[in-house]
Amino acid sequence: MVCALNEIVTCLKSIEKHLANIERFLAKPKLGELLVKGAYSVEEVAELTQTHGVKSYRPFTVRLACKDERIPEASKLEGGKWVIPREAVLRILQDGLPPERRG
């Protein structure tokens, strides 16, 4: 009888842990709701990937992807800074940056 009770307690603790994970997931804002601006800087995109992306990137990596035209929608301002449109940021957060072209 004691063994069965221990198994029930273990099972209930597991269920409680899973419910907590589900609650955290549901409490996270959706990516579309998170991105309110029309375009983002390289630094902002890198910061967003740290918390909401499938992969984390540093500003240098995002800047290099812009320079290498792996983010074709990105544009360079007169001051030399890159801006990345909201739709491209959503794609980066969901799919990651496109791979480097070899050769």
Backbone angles phi, psi at 24, to 5 degrees: -65, -40
In tens, the pLDDT along 32-60 reads: 778 889 999 999 999 999 988 889 999 99
Q: Is the pLDDT of residue 2 over 70?
A: no
Which runs of E-coded beta strand occur in 7-92?
39-41, 75-76, 82-85
Q: Which helix (H) or strand (E) holds 96?
A: none
| Better-scored residue on pLDDT, 4 or 90 | 90
Amino acid at 66: C
Q: In the prediction, which pLDDT does 93 show?
A: 94
Find residue 82's DSSP bridge partners: 76
Indicate the domain borders of the chain.
Answer: 1-29, 35-95
Which runs of E-coded beta strand occur in 2-102?
39-41, 75-76, 82-85
In tens, the pLDDT along 17-35 reads: 999 888 877 777 777 778 8
Q: In the prediction, which pLDDT does 103 show?
A: 62
CATH assignment of 35-95, among 1.10.20, 2.60.120, 1.10.1660, 1.10.3470: 1.10.1660
